[in-house]
Structure 1
Amino acid sequence: MKQQLPGGVIRQNRKLADGRDIFYYDSSDVSRDVVDTRDEVAQPGIGHLRLDVLVNEWVAVASHRQHRVFLPPKQLCPLCASTKDKKTEIPDSDYEVVVFTNRAPALTNPGENWSLPQLDGLDTPNPDAAGACEVVCYTSDHESSFAKLSVKQIRAVLEAWKDRDKFLSILPYIEHVFPFENRGEEVGVTISHPHGQIYAYSFIPPRVEKMLSVAQEHLKKTGRVLLDDVIKREIKDERRIVAKNSEWIAYVPYAARYPFEIHLTPLRGVAHMSQLDEKQSESFAPIAKEVLSRLDGVFGIEMAYIASWYQSPVNIGQDCMRLNWQIVSVRRQPGKLKYLSGSESGMGAFIMDLDPEQSADQLRAVKL
């Protein structure tokens, strides 16, 4: 089935041999009818959630993930396109952007009549780990990266994100959708092919829950959206702005936690990624490419980073939370990483070794 999306992107839905979904996103009309000829393998059972009663936070227990793929060589990469001699997760011999259901999901479809139990301290039951985990392959080129993608390719990635956000948000058991990318072994990447993931949770994750609470309080106190006020301060101060166009602004946050941390935010706020309009979507790719290229250019090496999309939960917070992309790198100097200290890992109290303004200066100074 073909579906026309904004930006000239076409989605085609297919099934893998084991029944998982795969979605091709192309900026031209190509046929995606290659069949997955691998042997059918039974899917792992669903994990479960346990409540950490000391902080009232859900923890997903998914022991079946213990034996997932770990740092395979290029010739065995499961995210490259298939060849005659090697069958991978993508049956076709080439692709532009692909999304498919994770083979070893921490969260998955729980079946009918699932509900998250009410918190009841030590007596809280352990529900199935409901949700969704998807892999987003940015390109078939194993040696590429998000920063190296063409503007056209980045637009296709964005439309894939928007499309999956829209679909996952209507599932009755989903409370929050989180697209993200880990890049580099330094931040725990297990497959080096350029890709990201989407986690769709059946609960509101702790960090989002805290952000929601703060945003609600700000709205109640001022009548304004917190992120709108943050952007106004950044524009007024100017010093931390890294890049800006007609629809987006990229800046090092006032209280950055990492040596290199960049937030990319629409100037016209939206609550969810799927709400980005044509102007915002068209303007995203050039500034996203610039920001990540500047990050790689600081030391002239490919920087390890975690890029996280924050947005409103599915069923609450649309009036006070706004979409933004937060990119953090653990590299502070060539050959030196920022390892989280006891204060940071144990207490969540961060110590920044570099003035955010200095970090912004270094990023702006990169010659593109």
Structure 2
Amino acid sequence: MNKFNMEDHPHRRYNPLTGEWVLVSPHRAKRPWQGQVEKISEEQRPEHDPDCYLCAGNERVGGERNPEYKDTYVFTNDFAALNLDASVGEVNEGDLFKAKSEQGICRVICFSPRHDLTIPQMEVSDVKKVVDLWQEQYIELGNRSEINYVQIFENKGSVMGCSNPHPHGQIWAQSSVPDEPAKESVRFKAYYEKYSRTLLGDYLEKELQKKERILIENNHFVALVPYWATWPFETMIISRRAIQYLGQMNEDEKEALAAIYRDLTIRYDNLFEVSFPYSAGIHQAPSDGMDHPEWHLHMHFYPPLLRSATVKKFMVGYEMLGNPQRDITPETSAERLRSLSARHYKQSLI
């Protein structure tokens, strides 16, 4: 029997944020790929598209016209998944049939008037305006009595279901706490009650000592590949200070978040020299008016690409029926991302 080696042998890793496990099978990375191959969509986009419903000055599907905005712009989603006018009610037929009405507000954030730019191609000062808007929206929506959680997220790329290439994100603010941050709340609270410290604060300290999965650092944030990462190039941005929610961030921290957000996505684009798709979102304390010292602000990035710009990781079969599984180890992914240039590949071609 060979000595156990996590870089070569199958094993499971524990996710302390959710209490769940991921199966890691590094030996499978050597298998030939004969599955689906994605098309690369790298068309040249104009600075302004007259047919884009997110571009400045254009009319949206609902009939509203966007202003001639110069940096960021936010509006209520014309096809919102949640609204405040929903009828209130519930179904409660014992333990097996339950339903409850849900109220909320859905908004769209345009990152830039430029149709042809994404976060890694924007200046840090312009990304900072996105972070400023996140904070403003969190404070405004989180202070509403009907809202108990504000979920800010971005879907980038058609492979992630993004229906419009204009650089944008979304905010879904709702009356209940969604499942993923709710799971983290349970784990964070238990850890804080036991140690009087945040789980992510202690985890980040250990990661900074090990240096195996650290990608980028600045004075206020760290980007890393989580020990328990599920997606091949999954990453997290964690605040050094135990910030509970966006409203607590100062100007230096907002600029630092903007810088590391941009730097991380540059490395993503450089990995396969393509506009790298992902779903990303901020997890922060509920906006229920309570103090949450156990919470520690962080941002998840879940990109689907596996071996190249054309090979996607699918969560099917065992992943759907058993638990998540990955082939390349988080340490290998971290080394590949860490070794990439901090200069965007398109700038290198100029």
Secondary structure of the residue aligned to 2:326 is: coil
Q: Is the 8 A contact 2:244 2:285 kept in 1?
A: yes
- Alpha-carbon separation, structure 1, partners of 2:261 and 2:319: 29
- 2:185 corresponds to: 212
Aligned pairs (5 A) from 1:106-185 = 106-110=81-85, 121-122=95-96, 124=98, 126-127=100-101, 129-185=102-158
What are the equivalent positions in structure 2 for 1:216-231 lying under 5 Å apart? 216-231=189-204
Match of 1:95 among 53, 67, 70: 70
Q: Could you tell me which amino acid in structure 2 is paired with residue 107 of structure 1?
A: L
Query: CA 1:255–1:122 in structure 2 vs 1: closer, same or farther (change >3 Å)?
Result: closer
Q: Would you say 1:254 and 2:227 are equivalent positions?
A: yes
SS in 2 for 1:159: helix
Partner residue in 2 for 1:80: 55
How far is 1:96 from its partner? 0.8
Going from structure 1 to structure 2, the CA distance change for 1:247 and 1:125 (only over 3 Å counts) comes to closer
Structure 2 counterpart SS, 1:298: helix
The answer to whether the 8 Å contact 1:77/1:88 transfers is no
Deviations 1:263-303 (A, max 9, x none): 11110111111111122112222222111101111111111
Q: Which runs of 5+ in 1 are unaligned?
A: 1-72
Partner of 2:41: none
Q: Does residue 310 of structure 1 match 2:283?
A: yes
User: Residue 307 of structure 2 aligns with which residue?
Assistant: 333
Gap runs ≥5 in structure 2: 1-45, 344-350
TM-score where L is the length of structure 2: 0.78
More displaced stretch, 249-258 vs 316-325: 316-325
Q: CA deviation at 1:324?
A: 0.4
Residue 361 of structure 1: aligned partner:
335
CA spacing shift, 1:190–1:362, aligned 2, 3 Å: same
CA distance in 1, matches of 2:84, 2:125: 33
Q: CA RMSD in A?
A: 2.4
Amino acid at match of 1:228: G
SS of residue paired to 1:287: helix
Amino acid at match of 1:343: Y
| Partner SS, residue 257 of structure 1 | coil
Q: Deviation of residue 217 (structure 1)?
A: 1.3
| Aligned equivalent of 2:294, options 290, 311, 320 | 320
Structure possessing the higher relative contact order (Cα contacts under 8 Å, 6 or more residues apart): 2
Provide Cα deviations, 1:55-113, integer angstroms capped at 9, x if missing partner.
xxxxxxxxxxxxxxxxxx944210011269x997553234210000000111111389x
Q: How many residues align?
A: 292
Change (3 A) 1:201 1:94: closer
Shift of 1:199: 0.5
Structure 2 Cα separation of the partners of residues 190 and 262 of structure 1: 24
Q: Which amino acid aligns with 2:307?
A: Q
Q: In the aligned structure 2, how far is the partner of 1:118 from the partner of 1:277? A: 45
- 1:7 aligns with none
Query: Structure 2 counterpart of 1:250, which letter?
Result: A
Amino acid at match of 1:355: T
1:41 corresponding residue in structure 2: none
| Letter in structure 2 aligned against 1:170 | N
Q: What pairs with 1:259-274 in structure 2 (closer than 5 Å)?
A: 259-274=232-247
Identity of aligned residues (%): 27
Residue identity opposite 1:332 in structure 2: L
